[in-house]
Chain A
Amino acid sequence: MRLELANYQTHDVRFGRATRWRDGVLELNKSELLELIRQDPLVASADVQIARPGESVRIITVRDVIEPRMKVQGDGMAYPGILGRPVATVGQGRTNRLGGMTVMTCALSGDSRRYGLHSSYRPGTAYGDFIDMSGPGAISPFAGLCNVCLVIEPARHLEPDPANRVVQQAMLAAQDYIARATLEEQPTEVEVFDMTPKPGLPGLVHIHSIVSPEAITLNPDSTMGTAVYGITRLTQPWLLHPTEVLDGAACGNFGRWWTWPLTNTITLHMCRRHGKDFNFLGSIMVRTMWEEQRQKELMANRAALMAATLGADGAIVTPTLRGQRFLDTILVVQACERAGIKTVLITEEEDDEDGTAPPLLVTAPEVVAVVSTGDGSAPGPFPPVETVIGAGEIRRDWYDEQEPPHGRYGTSHLNDVLGFTRLTCVDY
């Protein structure tokens, strides 16, 4: 596979009369974009706001984050398969991207009781589920980007899953609309990823765990998880070329595990080092939430066999936390090590409960090399802000100083399982 990634690096986004990209500035015609989104009769209301680095802005109710991308040569469409988009194989030809900015959807979460899920909300817990764009709490990579926040309220009668479909539809419409602004313009830079393996280098794979929402929503076509070419079902592991991941072949959020970190951090970085430090042989997506231990073991074995068949010497394994999903990931590490593949697990840790609880929910003797992305807590402080962007009625206290999340009971500020932040824990 060979993919050219033409970057239209964007250092500012401004509302204007037209929508165009020039000299690193995206001018955005707000009313035209909103008109496009409101064409969907299931959108009850929509708004667009811009959050820039350094601004006194807090973003809440974030549903998903993606970078605007568009295929200009080669088969398919960026973020393929979802909501009826073509499933033609992506990852070849040329893709335009707007680096330095995102489309960030904000929407209220649906009533999960409809899926038989009882609330896990605990009063008095600092959940840390917000993004600060400035100040000492601006520790996410999104704080360094121009975020086009799309605040969407789907029609009220919808169940959470179809409502999410409306939000995703709006996100993709907006990203397509924005990415078209790059046509006829000259990119800031063009990166060429020729993924042909070079002789003499070690081979690596990235094995990522993605949750299937099927067992939760009882809907085989559920949108409430990361889709591979639009598919979220509980299926055996998928082998993707890394350039397919760059084209958004794995897209969609599960909770606050968003799309952007997958396309813009670990995969992009590994593609950049391909052919220099190692050969990046493939991205393997392992579905989690299998019901039986033997099914979990089987999927782990299949993923390890895929990696071994590709000739992998090493694997970076990443989970989607927590509970049984983490167990699925540990089994992947175990299967890879048993297949002779040197494996490093990247994960967020559990609360250490003042030194009395182990950092990993479960482990195995084969789990010897782990990179910690912290325990979900954030140091803060998160001082008061002037503007809060988000869906629904915004409570007054969102403008106040926010308590730093502790990371206790599975809460997390950034849900970083891909190592996209510099947060980590060390032993004392």
Chain B
Amino acid sequence: MSDRLRVVHYLNQFFGGIGGEDKAETPVLVKDGPVGPGRALQAALKDRGTVVATIICGDDFVAEREAEAGQAIREALERYSPDLVLAGPAFDSGRYGLGCALVCRVAKSMKIPAVTAMHPDNAAVITHRQELLAVPTGTDATQMQAIIGKMVALGLKVASGQELGPALQEGYVPHGIRRLVFADKPGYERALDMVLARIQGRPWVSEVQVQQYDTVPPAPPVEDLSRAVIGIVVSTGIVPRGNPDAIPGARALHAGRYSIEGINELSVQDWECVHGGFNTRILNTRNPNYALPLPALRQLEAEGVIRAIYPYFYSTVGNQTAVGPAREIGQRIAREFKEAGVTAAIQVSG
């Protein structure tokens, strides 16, 4: 790289000097050269780069009118054709974080390297984890100088086309991607180092940090059970004898859909359990209803406690199923139940 890099910087209305919360509706505007924290950025870049422009946008505007803001940002980037985009730091501000993330995502789609900085729990990280290259920050804006230094160092590295190493080593917020490596010591030694550090109050870092579990808000309670149609889902692997859909004993990628219309009780002649994770002897020789409690539900139906049981149930095996396929199976079932007017579902886990 012979010449200085052309750098475009992104700020919100506050750091961009437009105003406070009352100016949060400000649409995207572009100023030549560095603004506010951009001056520190320029200083950190030294002769390696020049802040040619600063994109500024109000937090509400960017959060609420993403498509419009994204288009304006794209036009600005096209106009200035930067070699590197730097955004923020946004610290723990969620809307500012989303603005920084939007700029980075637009830049990425244009194959322009982009680096931002924010708190690892910022909503933008939660939403766009894999797309962001973000320097982790605390919540304290007085750390601005140090963080800008890190953003510039990381930015120069990616702009030069260098491959990045692990998140902890390079100083970016993890993307949730885990890669196998060899550590310098066996695991039990590292565990002892870690537990002693914890006990003695020395610094330590867990080797598993990003958790990113899906959180599913529960549906509201059923208002009137006597009017409810109940769907049945089992991951206990109850299938028609012969297993027509070849549901495997473990690592299932699909679910079967079977009719129970007019059936009050599952019999071992007609049904079997194909689960590979527990002993199925009793289910398969005596009583499959333990894994799909149809008689009890039919009784509730007869007594009028519930209105009806949905005539089809879904079955898979919940044994070593990966998260992705499990999510797809669940979404498909939920779609059918919803379209068919099922009020509530019972999931028998296995």
A314 touches B279 (CB 8 A): no
By CB atoms of chain A within 10 A, which of B180, B212, B237, B276 has the most? B180
How far, in Å, is B238 (CB) from chain A's closest CB? 12
Q: How far is the CA of A216 from the CA of B174 in the complex (A)?
A: 40
Contact residues of A between 406 and 428, Cβ < 8 Å to B: 407-410, 416, 418-428
A-B residue pairs in contact (CB < 8 Å), sample of 11 = A118-B249, A118-B276, A118-B280, A265-B186, A277-B196, A323-B319, A344-B191, A357-B323, A369-B204, A426-B181, A427-B167
* A270 contacts the other chain (CB 8 A): yes
A425 touches B279 (CB 8 A): no
B182 touches A314 (CB 8 A): no
Q: How far is the CA of A273 from the CA of B191 in the complex (A)?
A: 13
Q: How far is the CA of A368 from the CA of B205 in the complex (A)?
A: 9
Q: Which of A277, A346, A351, A355 sits near B187, CB closer than 8 Å?
A: A346
A424 touches B175 (CB 8 A): no
The contact string, 1 if C-beta is below 8 Å from chain B, for chain A 329-345, is 00000000000001110
* A353 contacts the other chain (CB 8 A): yes
* B166 contacts the other chain (CB 8 A): yes
**Other 7 A-B pairs with CB < 8 A, given A355-B177, A369-B195:** A115-B279, A344-B191, A344-B194, A355-B178, A371-B188, A371-B194, A427-B175
How far, in Å, is B116 (CB) from chain A's closest CB? 17
* A375 contacts the other chain (CB 8 A): yes
* B260 contacts the other chain (CB 8 A): no
Q: Given that A216-B278, A270-B192 are known contacts, is A427 also in contact with B186, CB under 8 Å in the complex?
A: no
B281 touches A115 (CB 8 A): yes
A-side interface residues, number (CB < 8 Å): 70
How far, in Å, is A331 (CB) from chain B's closest CB? 17
B206 touches A370 (CB 8 A): yes
Q: How far is the CA of A369 from the CA of B190 in the complex (A)?
A: 11
For B210, give the chain A residue with the smallest CB separation: A427
For B165, give the chain A residue with the smallest CB separation: A428
By CB atoms of chain B within 10 A, which of A270, A314, A316, A427 has the most? A427
Query: Which A residues touch B277, using CB under 8 A?
Result: 117, 120, 323
Contact residues of A between 348 and 378, Cβ < 8 Å to B: 349, 351-360, 363, 368-375, 377-378
How far, in Å, is B328 (CB) from chain A's closest CB? 12
What's the A-B contact tally at a CB cutoff of 8 Å? Answer: 222
How far, in Å, is A35 (CB) from chain B's closest CB? 38
* A269 contacts the other chain (CB 8 A): yes
Query: Which B residues touch A363, using CB under 8 A?
Result: 211, 213
The contact string, 1 if C-beta is below 8 Å from chain B, for chain A 123-159, is 0010000000000000000000000000000000000
Query: Which A residues touch B181, using CB under 8 A?
Result: 423-426
Is the interface on chain B under 10, 10 to 19, 20 to 34, or 35 or more residues?
A: 35 or more
Q: Which of A217, A316, A377, A422 sits near B184, CB closer than 8 Å?
A: A422
For B190, give the chain A residue with the smallest CB separation: A371
A116 touches B208 (CB 8 A): no
Q: Given that A370-B208, A416-B187, A428-B175 are known contacts, is A355 also in contact with B130, CB under 8 Å in the complex?
A: yes
Q: Given that A368-B206, A428-B166 are known contacts, is A374 also in contact with B280, CB under 8 Å in the complex?
A: no
Q: How far is the CA of A419 from the CA of B186 in the complex (A)?
A: 6
Q: How far is the CA of A426 from the CA of B130 in the complex (A)?
A: 15
For A277, give the chain B residue with the smallest CB separation: B196
Q: How far is the CA of A87 from the CA of B119 in the complex (A)?
A: 57
* A12 contacts the other chain (CB 8 A): no
Q: Which of B176, B192, B198, B209 sits near A356, CB closer than 8 Å?
A: B176
A425 touches B178 (CB 8 A): yes
The contact string, 1 if C-beta is below 8 Å from chain A, for chain B 273-315, is 0111111111110000000000000000000000000000000
Query: Which A residues touch B259, using CB under 8 A?
Result: none
* B110 contacts the other chain (CB 8 A): no
For B323, give the chain A residue with the smallest CB separation: A357
For A418, give the chain B residue with the smallest CB separation: B188
* A313 contacts the other chain (CB 8 A): yes
A119 touches B251 (CB 8 A): no
B323 touches A314 (CB 8 A): no
Q: How far is the CA of A322 from the CA of B321 in the complex (A)?
A: 11
B320 touches A423 (CB 8 A): no
Query: Which B residues touch A322, using CB under 8 A?
Result: 320
B213 touches A358 (CB 8 A): yes
A314 touches B322 (CB 8 A): no
Q: Which of B178, B204, B319 sits near A426, CB closer than 8 Å?
A: B178
